[in-house]
Structure 1
Amino acid sequence: MAIEDDLKGKVDEASGKAKEVAGAATDNEQLETKGKAQGLAGKARGAFGDAKDKVEDAAEDLKEKAEDAVDDLKSKFDK
C-alpha cells in the first residue's frame, strides 16, 4: 500500500538523519554516510508511495469512465 511506503519512508528518513547526526558528532564518516544513504532511500520510498497513489487514482478514474461509457451504450441498445 502507498500509505505503508509513505510511513516506512518517513521512518527511514528519520533514522537516517539520526545516524547522520550521530556520525557527524562522533566523527564517524561511515555512520554519517550510511545515515545519508538511508535518508535518501526513505525519500525515494516516500516518492514511490506518492506515485502509487497517483496511479491508483488515475486507474480508478479510468475504470469509472469506462463503466459510464458501457452504461451509456447499454442504454442506447435497450431502447
Structure 2
Amino acid sequence: MLAERGEATAGDLASGLGVPANTMSSHLTVLAHAGLVSSSKSGRHVLYRANTARLEPLIGRLSTLVAKELKAE
C-alpha cells in the first residue's frame, strides 16, 4: 500500500487499513529502524516512504518460500 502511494502519513495508512493511527505509527517506526521505510517531516506530519531497494529482495525471497510451500502441499 505504501509503495503504491509513494508516501503517506501513519494516519492515512491507518484509515486505509482500518487500524488505529497510533498502532500504525508504532509499526512504521519498527519498519523504519529496520530500514524498510524512510520518513521525513512535513509540517506537523511525518511522511513515510517504502524503501524499495531494501524491500524488493525481501519480497523476492518471501515469494520463493511461499512457492516452495505451495508445491509441498
Q: TM-score range by the shorter chain?
A: 0.3 to 0.5
Normalising by structure 2, we get a TM-score of 0.34
Structure that is richer in strand per residue: 2
- Report which of the two structures shows the higher radius of gyration computed on alpha carbons: 1
Q: State the structure with bigger RCO (CA 8 A, min sep 6), 1 or 2.
A: 1
Structure that is richer in helix per residue: 1
Normalising by structure 1, we get a TM-score of 0.32
